[in-house]
């Protein structure tokens, strides 16, 4: 079925805005071309900013862990959780620009596999720190980071289950068409979960372990996270969120 979402501008054209227009930029700025390799989605448009921020955040955390004394039941936690955040960002970036049935299917498969990996990393990282707390008789909810972590992981578990069932078992929602209408809610929750993940990482800077051992600077983490937000959210397709671009509305009515 042809749609505005699958119509791509050619080089040199200045197409009129459409419902598939990203939050910032022109329609083609965040739309995968049918003949483009899927990996290009990771860097398309402002995706380069998100990649820079994701790599910077990963480098800050990993460098801090490995340049300080490591603890078997503590050090793996920031390593695994930060790698989980990095994987979530890749899962979002690879699916965002897809627009045809074929590219959407490929993107969904990659998205699913990356989220299975991210979930495994988050569960492993959380398990390690919980074992450390139980072993050393430490409080389980000692900081805002801990509360945010539990809330975010719980939301992610529900989000993963919701997305998987919409994709693999649409009959649970009354069939394929009713299930498709739920995708926009999955996307809304996904972007909210990303913000919660970034807030959780920022809150980790204020924990006792980070202050006394890792000594990560909050401003450095916030710079990396600002790059991630600046890279991911401008590529959001308004139509995929169930929204119309104001410019598209004015264009269609003129």
Is residue 199 assigned to a domain?
yes
Is residue 25 assigned to a domain?
no
User: Number of structural domains, the chain?
Assistant: 1
Q: Phi/psi at 163 (nearest 5 deg)?
A: -65, -40
Token pair 């959001």 in the structure block, residue:
236
Q: Exposure string (b/e) for 66-91, b if CB count within 10 Å is 16 or more?
A: eeeeeeeebbbbbbbbbbbbbbbbbb
pLDDT tens digits in sequence order for the chain, 254 residues long: 333 333 344 434 433 334 457 777 676 678 898 889 999 999 999 999 999 999 999 999 999 999 999 999 999 999 999 999 999 999 999 999 998 999 999 999 999 999 999 999 999 999 999 999 999 888 878 899 999 999 999 999 999 999 999 999 999 999 999 999 999 999 999 999 999 999 999 999 999 999 999 999 999 999 999 999 999 999 998 888 888 644 444 443 33
CA angle 127, 92, 194 (to 5 degrees): 55
CA distance 88 to 95: 11
Q: Is the dihedral of CA 106, 98, 118, 223 positive or negative?
A: positive
Is residue 15 assigned to a domain?
no
Q: Is the dihedral of CA 56, 57, 62, 67 positive or negative?
A: positive
Is residue 20 assigned to a domain?
no
Is residue 97 assigned to a domain?
yes
What's the CATH code of the domain at 86? 1.20.120.1770
Is residue 102 assigned to a domain?
yes
Is residue 190 assigned to a domain?
yes
- The per-residue pLDDT for 249 is 43
- The per-residue pLDDT for 27 is 63
Is residue 27 assigned to a domain?
no
Domain of 192 in residue numbering reads as 36-245
């Amino acid at each position: 079925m042809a749609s505005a979402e699958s119509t791509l501008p050619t080089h040199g054209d200045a197409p009129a805005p459409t419902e598939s227009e990203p939050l910032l930029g022109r329609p083609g700025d965040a739309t995968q071309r049918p003949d483009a390799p899927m990996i290009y989605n990771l860097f398309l448009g402002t995706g380069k900013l998100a990649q820079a921020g994701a790599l910077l955040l990963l480098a800050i955390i990993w460098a801090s862990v490995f340049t300080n004394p490591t603890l078997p039941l503590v050090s793996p936690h920031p390593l695994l959780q930060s790698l989980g955040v990095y994987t979530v960002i890749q899962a979002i970036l690879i699916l965002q620009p897809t627009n045809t049935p074929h590219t959407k299917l490929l993107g969904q498969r990659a998205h699913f596999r990356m989220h299975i990996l991210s979930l495994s990393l988050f569960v492993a990282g959380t398990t390690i720190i919980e074992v450390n707390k139980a072993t050393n008789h430490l409080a389980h909810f000692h900081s805002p980071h801990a509360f945010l972590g539990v809330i975010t992981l719980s939301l992610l578990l529900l989000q993963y289950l919701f997305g998987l069932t919409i994709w693999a078992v649409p009959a649970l929602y009354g069939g394929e068409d009713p299930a498709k209408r739920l995708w926009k809610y999955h996307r809304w929750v996904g972007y909210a979960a990303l913000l919660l993940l970034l807030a959780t990482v920022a809150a980790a800077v204020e924990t006792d372990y980070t202050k006394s051992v890792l000594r990560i600077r909050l401003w450095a983490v916030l710079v990396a996270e600002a790059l991630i937000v600046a890279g991911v959210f401008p590529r959001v397709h308004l139509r995929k969120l169930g929204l119309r671009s104001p410019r598209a509305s004015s264009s269609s009515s003129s």
